[in-house]
Amino acid sequence: MNSASSRSRTLKTVGALGMAAATAMLMTGCGQSSDSATSAATSEAAKVLPQQQTTSPSASAQLTEDQQERKKVLDATKVTFDDAATAATGEVAGGKLVDLDLEGVDDDDKDQSPSPTGSGSPTGSASPSGTASPSGTGTSSPSASPGAEGPVWVAEVAEKDGTIHTVRINAVDGKVIEARVDADQNADDKKQTADRLAQATQTPQQAAKVATEKKKGKVTSVGLDDNEGNVIWQVDVVGSDWKRTTFDIDAKNDTIVREETDND
């Protein structure tokens, strides 16, 4: 009787152990199947996801038309505003700079704005043949036609009596392309220019420095103008984002009286 009971208990124990082992095998199998399925899904996703990624547009594609044009001209320009100003005033004995623009940068806006002398744009009609400048250079016409040489600085330089000379400077090598007296000035135009210059105790270079200290960038235009009876230097600065900021700077004390950024 005792032997039978012992054998019964042994059989029960072996049976229990067998069931436990079977259960463990089933659970292990399920786990392996689950892991395999997850691994397969992850592998398939890895193949698909890279194809769904899109590349971001280039920086130039995000620029407006005006910004692209500024970038194009400024990338090609090697002569700074300061160097162009020095070259321009050197063409007129005792002359003072009243306007300097980089051609091709926001020209439409410049065409709409009155020039400091009220005589039109700096590229107006040429002076009569044979008109000589105070520096003795006379009217010059180099073999290279204006515009064919790349970006150009266009300056207006005034004599003491207000007579304006237009000077065109190659913005790549700094050479003077043309220097001439503007033919369409009258006595009132000259007097207005002379009066403004007499009131402007600050130079265009000082005004440009004030503007670029406020906004880092390249100066593309400086012009002597009038704002409600106050003489100002209007300075355009193009930043690294290729946006233009215009500053009106009091020509007597270098105070910024207006600042406006063109987001186009």
Judge whether residue 8 has pLDDT over 70: no
Judge whether residue 115 has pLDDT over 80: no
How much is the pLDDT for 136? 39
Flag whether 101 is in a domain.
yes
Judge whether residue 26 has pLDDT over 70: no
User: How does residue 229 score in pLDDT terms, banded at 50, 70 and 90?
Assistant: confident
User: How does residue 245 score in pLDDT terms, banded at 50, 70 and 90?
Assistant: very high
Flag whether 20 is in a domain.
no
Q: Centre a 10 Å sphere on the Cβ of residue 77 and count the other Cβ atoms it contains.
A: 22
How much is the pLDDT for 39? 52
Question: Domain count of the chain?
Answer: 1
How much is the pLDDT for 228? 86
Domain that holds residue 105: 65-262
Is the sign of the CA dihedral 213, 214, 220, 225 positive or negative?
negative
49 vs 54: CA distance, rounded Å: 10
Flag whether 27 is in a domain.
no
User: How does residue 10 score in pLDDT terms, banded at 50, 70 and 90?
Assistant: very low
Angle between helices 204-214 and 81-89 (to 10 degrees): 170
Flag whether 86 is in a domain.
yes
Q: pTM of whole model > 0.75?
A: no
Flag whether 246 is in a domain.
yes
Flag whether 34 is in a domain.
no
User: How does residue 116 score in pLDDT terms, banded at 50, 70 and 90?
Assistant: very low
95 vs 161: CA distance, rounded Å: 10
Q: At a CB cut-off of 8 Å and minimum separation 6, what does 202 contact?
A: 233, 249, 250, 251, 252, 253, 254
The full length of the chain comes to 264
Of the listed ranges 74-83, 122-131, 207-216, the least confidently predicted one is 122-131
Tokens 């992850």 correspond to: 42
Flag whether 60 is in a domain.
no
Instruction: For residues 65-94, give the mean pLDDT.
Output: 96
What dihedral angle (degrees, nearest 10) is formed by the CA atoms of 103, 107, 113, 114?
40
236 vs 18 pLDDT, higher one: 236
Cα 171 from chain centre: 17
Using a CB cutoff of 8 Å and minimum separation of 24, what contacts does 250-255 make?
A: 250/202, 251/196, 251/199, 251/200, 251/201, 251/202, 251/207, 251/224, 252/199, 252/200, 252/201, 252/202, 253/201, 253/202, 254/202, 254/206, 254/207, 254/210
Flag whether 5 is in a domain.
no
How much is the pLDDT for 191? 96
User: How does residue 78 score in pLDDT terms, banded at 50, 70 and 90?
Assistant: very high
Judge whether residue 5 has pLDDT over 70: no
State the chain's mean pLDDT as an integer: 76
How much is the pLDDT for 61? 62
Instruction: For residues 10-20, give the mean pLDDT.
Output: 47
